[in-house]
Amino acid sequence: MVACHGTRESRSAQAKRSSVKCAMDSIKKSANRPVLEGITLEAMVTRLAGDIGWSAMAAAVPIRCFTHDPSIKSSLKFLRRTPWARNRVEALYLDLIDRRID
């Protein structure tokens, strides 16, 4: 594939451009969702644990702090240090909120 200035674009550059496009698409999709601003991680985990339970949380986000002796404290400690897991818990929370609204 030829880039803007007549040079050949490598496959890795194509992949990067494709992943940026996918990221932009997900940002557009999430624009319709409620904003998490003002909602603490503790509030999200507490509500999820109360509404769907630890086993459903573990099925959706398979992390040890949800599967083995789950607690709010251990979950918060792990999620604050692990961005990918936090993102999945936030998405799970947003899905819960979306289902409540519909």
Q: What is the pLDDT of residues 30-45, one digit of tens each?
A: 555 567 888 999 999 9
Residue spans of the domains in the chain: they are 1-32, 41-101
Superfamily classification of domain 41-101 = SAP domain (1.10.720.30)
Give residue-wise pLDDT tens across range 86-100: 999 999 999 998 887
As a whole number of Å, the CA-based R_g of the chain is 18
Long-range contacts at 21-25 (CB < 8 A, ≥ 24 apart) = none
Closest by CA position to 61, among listed 48, 80, 73 = 48
User: Residue 20 above 50 pLDDT?
Assistant: no
Beta bridge partners, 2, equal 8
pTM (predicted TM-score): 0.65
